[in-house]
Amino acid sequence: MRVLSNEKNALNIYSLTFESTSELLESLPGQFVNINVRGEDSPFFRRPFSIASATDDCIEIIFEVVGAGTWQLSTLHVGDSVDVIGPLGLGYDLDFTESKSLLIGGGVGLPPLMFLYYKMKNKGIEPQFLAGFKSVSYNFMPRNITNVHFSSDDGSLGSKGYVTDLLIETLFHEKVDHIYACGPEPMLSKVIEIAEENEIRCSVSIEKVFGCGTGICFGCIIENSLKRLTETGRKYSLACVEGTVFDAGDINL
């Protein structure tokens, strides 16, 4: 696919858009693309990235440079071609039945929630958004996303502390029916715990380290809850093909 833009929009964070295919235009929030990163010292495995937005003619991913693969992606120029497989995985259920939704994410766990936000807005739903960053320098939240409350580790953006502290505070004065979450596993575990305590439905998108991304290598297994074990007879699920989105009650993090 042809690169349409590749812009740095925060510290070590890039927004990469490329020409879409008809399959990718049908992508759901929570689905991902697997990119073959070519070049010197390029990694053997494809690298997975959540789809951050899909418009009529382009697909966007937002990534942080953390190693060789993402560094290679950051050097792509307009007109370069990228080898992309997708959309992969299962996304969030877009049959929104609850009246009050809350999206919560940390760092580069936010892109699939941004895509979910756009889908909700298209259906006339205005979700509450809680976004956590290490500091203001990492903030890549686009301006067209409103109703966002921020937290940062050092207090340079929004309230100081974890985004899960912000969630606890929010639930003191707001009624929420469904929480949608994506971010590092410790954050997701805490979100699930808070959702259970408050008896709120919760859907999480898992971004473990993936190998193949297509159900072959078993590198992304996730333990099923007793409920899902009883239903399926299986102790584990594959996050890449049965997720990335799971109902919080179906897995043990």
Ligand X SMILES: Cc1cc2nc3c(=O)[nH]c(=O)nc-3n(C[C@H](O)[C@H](O)[C@H](O)COP(=O)(O)OP(=O)(O)OC[C@H]3O[C@@H](n4cnc5c(N)ncnc54)[C@H](O)[C@@H]3O)c2cc1C
Phi (first) and psi of residue 231, to 5 degrees: -70, -40
The total number of residues written for the chain in this structure: 253
Q: Which of 35, 182, 238, 248 binds ligand FES (CB under 6 A)?
A: 238
Residue 29 CB coordination number (10 Å): 28
Q: What residue type is assigned to position 75 of the chain?
A: T
Which spans of this chain sit near ligand X (rule: CB under 6 A)?
32, 43, 47-50, 61-64, 66-70, 108, 111, 207-210, 244
Contact window for ligand FES (CB under 6 A) among 15-23, 109-117, 195-203, 208-216: 208-216
The span from the CA of 163 to the CA of 88, in Å, is 28
Helix spans in 93-238 (H):
111-122, 163-173, 185-197, 226-232
Q: Which two tokens stand for residue 156?
A: 């340079």
Classified as helix, coil or strand, 128 is strand
Q: Which of 43, 142, 184, 219 binds ligand FES (CB under 6 A)?
A: 219
Q: Which two tokens stand for residue 88?
A: 């992969």
The span from the CA of 92 to the CA of 85, in Å, is 19
199 CB burial (10 A radius; 0-12, 13-18, 19+): exposed
Q: In this complex, which beta carbon is closest to ligand X, that of residue 169 or of residue 185?
A: 185
Q: Which of 102, 163, 187, 240 binds ligand FES (CB under 6 A)?
A: 240
Q: Which two tokens stand for residue 178?
A: 């469904």
Q: How far is the CB of 118 from ligand X (least distance, A)?
A: 15
Q: In this complex, which beta carbon is closest to ligand X, that of residue 151 or of residue 244?
A: 244
Contact window for ligand FES (CB under 6 A) among 15-23, 116-124, 192-200, 205-213: 205-213
Q: Does 211 bind ligand FES (CB under 6 A)?
A: yes
Q: Which of 10, 65, 68, 217 binds ligand FES (CB under 6 A)?
A: 217
**Residue 238 contact partner, candidates ligand FES, ligand X, none, CB within 5 to 8 A by sort of partner:** ligand FES
Phi (first) and psi of residue 124, to 5 degrees: 80, 15
The span from the CA of 187 to the CA of 165, in Å, is 10
Q: How far is the CB of 217 from ligand FES (least distance, A)?
A: 4
Contact window for ligand FES (CB under 6 A) among 6-14, 18-26, 137-145, 209-217: 209-217
Residue nearest to ligand FES (CB): 240
Q: Which two tokens stand for residue 110?
A: 């936010």
Q: In this complex, which beta carbon is closest to ligand X, that of residue 41 or of residue 56?
A: 41
Residue nearest to ligand X (CB): 67
Interacting residues with ligand FES (CB under 6 A) = 210-213, 215-220, 238, 240
